[in-house]
Structure 1
Amino acid sequence: MTTVTTQSDVRRHELADFLRSRRERITPEQVGLPRGRRRRTPGLRREEVAQLSAVGVTWYTWLEQARDIQVSPQVLDALARALLLDPSERSHLFALAGSLDPTPHAPCPSVTPALRAMLDQLGPIPACVQNSRYDILAYNTTYGRLLCDLDALPPEDRNCLWLAFTHADWRAAVVDVAEVNRTIAAKFRAAMAEHLAEPAWKTLLARLEAESAEFREVWARHEVVGQGTKTKYIRNAHVGLLQLQHTNLWLGPAAGPRLVTYVPVDEESRTRLERLERLEPRSTRSPLSTAAV
């Protein structure tokens, strides 16, 4: 009889081994627990990890036994804290569990201090760094105000595809939103061909399909489009209509991070971007009326 090992089986066993190895390296003193005289287990006991994470002992034991159980991002977050995982280990934990980290802390190696400084100096031209999954990794002041208030969003929601299909302000700012969203979904499908088995990509796709009927309809078309440059029309809530040339500058291989800029096509758009950059902090400003468009 031949036993077939699935990819999910492999991932569960890798997750079990990883949790066990992290548990065994931590001393009770590191997490404020007494050692006791009869401790034979290297590092922490399973029940201690469960206690620190506020989960059931049986449930955590099943995790280390590679049982086929569901684990939420909130529980993974608690485990990462209890096991004192560093940013790389935390990212690995969520990847093995096939879950999106709700509070990612690991910095992107492509976003160096010099690149962040360049983003700031490009102002008032809106500019950001995105990866091929459309996560917004870094951005300057003008880009942060271009389509919605990015500073007000949690890091896990700073994704162009997610915002395009679920965020009211972002959608209101995009002229011809239906066609633009159809195009970005087609670009995402083309990019995803090289990442079909990666948890972060599958998690984003599952979130979109669960949240947006529009996305489900567009995704079912199986359209694909490559990356390119084009003129975009954005109706900013504060300064009005902007005509911008969208450009990608790849920071590595074509499937990796890219610098995205929105260069004004005309003088009026440049003037409005300058006004957008000079806006007061969001706590003290209010959108202009539609008469400004």
Structure 2
Amino acid sequence: MAATEFGQAVRRWRERVSPEAAGLPAGGQRRTPGLRREELSQLAGISVDYVTRLEQGRATSPSPQVVEALARALRLSAPERAHLFHLAGLQPPGPDSVPAHLTPGVQRVLDRLTHTPVAVFDAAWTLLVANPPYAALMGDPSRWQGHQRNAVWRNFLDPDDRVRHTARSRLELRTALVANLRAVTARYPADRRLRRLVAELRGRSELFATLWDTGVAGHHEAARKIIDHPRVGAVALDCDILTVAGSDLHIMVYTAEPGTEDADRLALITALGTQSLVG
């Protein structure tokens, strides 16, 4: 990898993205234009130290996941994203891989829903990006790495989330996720990362293996969910899932009925989360 060229490209693109365009507060006077390294770190879900080492050419061979995360955070166009992959010595993901690129339209949706919890997942339910209200509601996902960012993996191997479930609703969700994942593997049979995910789930979860082998049917759909927030308490929200035609992305949106106590609680959660991110 031409480490210096890669780092220069990241810094050049970082300096052209305004914090407002990335959905962040301007934060007072800045020595340089664009995003700070700390802000790029937050948006991409990688450490500030690693961003620094990449920009300075001291870190080599970033993973495809890191390059993809940087491309999303920097709002690169498709040609720029491909160029960043080439600078990293990697081939850009082809049509045989699960798409992970945020289209301009999806990015604009995120930009406009600044007070609504929104997260974008790929076809296999790997989290690509979550806005600050989503992180405030569901917990900060920036610390998750690798398969931890996949909702199927987390539901079977680390089901400690804030959504309240009965035994029946949990099983229904898991069944739907397995059915969805089976359909995705049929659409992208050459995706090696997807195959590794399925292999790990089959090896570590007897329930997943059983559901996978029996060919269960089902689909993940909109639902009324109760979120147990550690600071505000229980809040009942509508969870809607929008699928983006042509890019195979899932947009998850949480909303509350206007004028209700749940709407007030959601507004408080968002405000508390924003304060913690700024302060």
| Shorter-chain TM-score range | 0.5 to 0.7
Query: Which deviations, in whole Å up to 9, do the C-alpha atoms of 1:194-246 show, x marking residues without a partner?
Result: 12332121111122223333322332331122453332333333333232222
Query: Which residue number in structure 2 is paired with residue 263 of structure 1?
Result: 255
Structure 1 unaligned residues grouped into runs of 5+: 1-21, 31-77, 97-106, 286-293
C-alpha distance in structure 2 between counterparts of 1:158 and 1:91, whole Å: 24
Query: Which deviations, in whole Å up to 9, do the C-alpha atoms of 1:87-146 show, x marking residues without a partner?
Result: 5356956979xxxxxxxxxx943254x744642542432111111111111111121233
CA contact (8 A) 1:95 1:199 kept: no
Please point out which of 61, 70, 74 is paired with 1:80.
61
Whether 1:141 and 2:132 are equivalent positions in the alignment is yes
After the TM superposition, list the runs of 4 or more consecutive aligned residues in structure 1 that deviate by more than 6 angstroms: 93-96
1:155 Cα deviation (Å)?
5.5
3-state secondary structure, aligned to 1:134: coil
Question: Percent identity at matched positions?
Answer: 21
C-alpha distance in structure 2 between counterparts of 1:91 and 1:261, whole Å: 36
Structure with more contact order per residue of length (Cα contacts < 8 Å, sep ≥ 6)? 2
Against the structure 1 CA distance between its residues 186 and 109, is the aligned structure 2 distance closer, same or farther, given a 3 Å change threshold? closer
C-alpha distance in structure 1 between counterparts of 2:181 and 2:145, whole Å: 22
Against the structure 1 CA distance between its residues 180 and 226, is the aligned structure 2 distance closer, same or farther, given a 3 Å change threshold? closer
- Which entry has the higher C-alpha Rg, 1 or 2? 1
1:150 Cα deviation (Å)?
0.7
CA contact (8 A) 2:136 2:272 kept: no
3-state secondary structure, aligned to 2:262: helix
Equivalent positions of 1:22-41 (< 5 A) are: none
Against the structure 1 CA distance between its residues 201 and 180, is the aligned structure 2 distance closer, same or farther, given a 3 Å change threshold? same
CA RMSD of aligned residues (A): 4.0
Please point out which of 144, 155, 167 is paired with 2:158.
167
Query: Which residue number in structure 1 is paired with residue 245 of structure 2?
Result: 252
Structure 2 unaligned residues grouped into runs of 5+: 6-58, 68-82
Query: Which residue number in structure 2 is paired with residue 110 of structure 1?
Result: 102
Against the structure 1 CA distance between its residues 175 and 282, is the aligned structure 2 distance closer, same or farther, given a 3 Å change threshold? farther
Please point out which of 214, 218, 226 is paired with 1:233.
226
Please point out which of 199, 206, 215 is paired with 1:222.
215
1:265 Cα deviation (Å)?
4.3
Equivalent positions of 1:6-21 (< 5 A) are: none
C-alpha distance in structure 2 between counterparts of 1:237 and 1:199, whole Å: 38
Against the structure 1 CA distance between its residues 276 and 167, is the aligned structure 2 distance closer, same or farther, given a 3 Å change threshold? farther
Whether 1:119 and 2:110 are equivalent positions in the alignment is yes
CA contact (8 A) 2:122 2:250 kept: yes
C-alpha distance in structure 1 between counterparts of 2:122 and 2:215, whole Å: 21
C-alpha distance in structure 1 between counterparts of 2:203 and 2:84, whole Å: 28
| Aligned residues between the structures | 198
**TM value normalised by structure 2:** 0.56
Tell me which amino acid in the other structure corresponds to 2:61.
Answer: A
Query: Which residue number in structure 2 is paired with residue 58 of structure 1?
Result: none
Tell me which amino acid in the other structure corresponds to 2:85.
Answer: S
Equivalent positions of 1:184-195 (< 5 A) are: 184-195=177-188
Query: Which residue number in structure 1 is paired with residue 121 of structure 2?
Result: 130
C-alpha distance in structure 1 between counterparts of 2:228 and 2:127, whole Å: 20
CA contact (8 A) 1:120 1:141 kept: no
Against the structure 1 CA distance between its residues 237 and 175, is the aligned structure 2 distance closer, same or farther, given a 3 Å change threshold? farther
1:168 Cα deviation (Å)?
4.4
3-state secondary structure, aligned to 1:145: helix
C-alpha distance in structure 2 between counterparts of 1:148 and 1:218, whole Å: 28
C-alpha distance in structure 2 between counterparts of 1:214 and 1:161, whole Å: 12
C-alpha distance in structure 1 between counterparts of 2:248 and 2:89, whole Å: 18
